[in-house]
Amino acid sequence: MFDNVPLLLHGFEIALSWHHVALMIGGVLLGILVGVLPGLGAPNGVTLLLPLTFSMDPVSAIILLTSMYWGALFGGSTTSILFNIPGEPSSVATTFDGHPMAKNGQATEALTYAFMSAGFGAMVGVIVITLLSSAVADFALKFSSPEFFAVYLLAFASFVGLGGGNPFKTIVSLTLGLAFATVGQDTISGSLRLTFGFDELLRGISFLVAVIGLFGLGELVLTMEEGLRFNAVASRISPKKVFQTIAKMPRYWFALLRGSLIGVWMGVTPGGPTAASFMSYGVARRFSRRSANFGKGEPEGVVAPETADHAAGSSAMLPMLALGIPGSATAAVMLGGLMIWGLTPGPTLFVERPDFVWGLIASMYLGNVVAVVLVLATVPLFAAILRIPFAVVAPLIVSVCFIGVWTVASAEFDLWLVLAFGVIGYLFKKLEYPIAPLVLAMVLGDKAEDAFRQSMLMSGGSLGVFFSNPLAGTLTAIALILLAWPIVAMILGRRRASAAAVAAAHVERSPS
């Protein structure tokens, strides 16, 4: 486990160049801007920036994107506390106590609790990646086609069984993503599929075009429909109060540790930062000695969700790097970026490009430190940007979306395609369908199909190949259990309800 330390030190040599440090600072500042502007967010910001990285070295490109990711997470916390407007979905739980603290004249304390907790959670996530990434990669090197398909099936099934939302809607989202992934030329037979006579679809649907429409335009239309009211509170940061608040952080050590563990688990599984922040807040409120104060400006109500949010955001990179399976929507976008840069996510990446992997991990340590410092220094500036009328900001966001789409292939058809995905993204948000499973299916659809068909060729068409050895059999069995879990949970819930009803009826009939 600790054999990774020399590799990490080599990664710091790569990450500590002036060029990469400048990229970290620029990425964090861009991320904070993306995080504070409603209608954007980490997945959207990374998506819009991705075309600019095509000509960059992959190490520099991933450092820029991950730094933007950290900045966006911090920016979302800023607006949640100062304006009661979550810039990120994962920052919603922070509004519950963060904004009441700000209205009570404790804006500096709330922001400091949020940023320090976020930095702690992110560091725990990065440490987990450092210690476990090589072990996970070595384990994955034993995989062949059946094992890889079992892993992909497990990734899809995890969204159904562990996603926390409506499992039927998750399955619809996954199925639609798999359908989009099959458009174009079949990678094995070479035949054309689902092109419907459009020559422009021969090359398939660009992953980047899809996510810009789904996240960028879809979220923007929804934001415009809901309307925005910026009711700002004081945004001046007092250095004295910052240090006083930092000195109080140790009293929340248990909330920090518990939030980190919840975040790491939800990051490695497909729960994601949003589910992690709500779960951490709910657990903290349930077990806190000051639970009655939650919702009124309780510091622990800020510490718990922020720690879990950033721990999940960091640790989601572990399955993406080691297995080629993203643990969040943003990680899925980055996975697509790796493929565009000619890199193959998964265990072989650690062997073929150790400079990339460990340069990225080292930059995650540095990028989080840079983010904490910069976000404290720039809160008044970005709070002022939020006062710009949304009627001015929205056209700028649309322009950036279309410029990003045009840079993919300079194709007019893509401009119409991004509008179509914008409509899909809007409908998904309105109908509460999850977008992350669709993105995951688009990224992994081709790889999952190839692994399945290769497995069928190996076994002569027998599905028993997925149970032919303990590793593939275990992964497949867990995936099938997760797929069936919502049905099992529903049946168990009905039995408990009927048992409770029978017990209540018995109590009513019994003599008093």
The mean of the pLDDT values for the chain is 79
Its pTM stands at 0.67
Q: Assess contact for 382 and 75: CB atoms under 8 A.
A: yes
257 pLDDT tier (thresholds 50, 70, 90): very high
Res. 13: pLDDT tops 80: yes
Q: Assess contact for 111 and 303: CB atoms under 8 A.
A: no
Tokens matching residue 464: 């028993």
pLDDT per residue over 407-416, tens digit each?
A: 667 788 888 8
- Percent of the chain at pLDDT > 90 equals 2
Distance, in Å, from the CA atom of 493 to the CA atom of 287, rounded to the nearest integer, reads 24
Tell me phi and psi for residue 39, to 5 degrees. Answer: 95, -15
236 pLDDT tier (thresholds 50, 70, 90): low
Distance, in Å, from the CA atom of 21 to the CA atom of 260, rounded to the nearest integer, reads 26
pLDDT per residue over 349-374, tens digit each?
A: 777 788 888 888 888 888 888 888 88
Q: Assess contact for 237 and 379: CB atoms under 8 A.
A: yes
- Please, what's the b/e burial string for 242-262 (b: 16 or more CB within 10 A of its CB; e: otherwise)? beebeeebeebeebbebbbbb
Which residue would you say has higher pLDDT here, 405 or 385?
405
Q: Assess contact for 272 and 313: CB atoms under 8 A.
A: no
Distance, in Å, from the CA atom of 126 to the CA atom of 365, rounded to the nearest integer, reads 7
Distance, in Å, from the CA atom of 120 to the CA atom of 250, rounded to the nearest integer, reads 12
292 pLDDT tier (thresholds 50, 70, 90): confident
Q: Assess contact for 342 and 42: CB atoms under 8 A.
A: no
Amino acid in position 130: T
SS3 state of residue 184: strand
Distance, in Å, from the CA atom of 264 to the CA atom of 276, rounded to the nearest integer, reads 9
| Sign of the Cα pseudo-torsion (404, 409, 411, 417, in order) | negative
Q: Assess contact for 438 and 174: CB atoms under 8 A.
A: yes
Which of the 8 DSSP states describes residue 316?
T
Q: How far, in Å, are 63, 64, 242, 311, 334 from residue 46 at the CA level?
A: 11, 9, 30, 19, 8
For residue 237, the model assigns a pLDDT of 63
Q: Please enumerate in sequence order all residues whose Cβ is within 8 A of that of 184, keeping only pairs 6 or more positions apart, or say none.
A: 192, 193, 194, 195, 201, 202, 203, 204, 205
Tokens matching residue 306: 């922020």
327 pLDDT tier (thresholds 50, 70, 90): low
Distance, in Å, from the CA atom of 408 to the CA atom of 206, rounded to the nearest integer, reads 8
418 pLDDT tier (thresholds 50, 70, 90): confident
Tokens matching residue 86: 């979550």
176 pLDDT tier (thresholds 50, 70, 90): very high
SS3 state of residue 193: strand
pLDDT per residue over 437-491, tens digit each?
A: 787 788 778 878 888 888 888 888 888 888 888 888 888 898 888 888 888 878 8
Amino acid in position 198: F
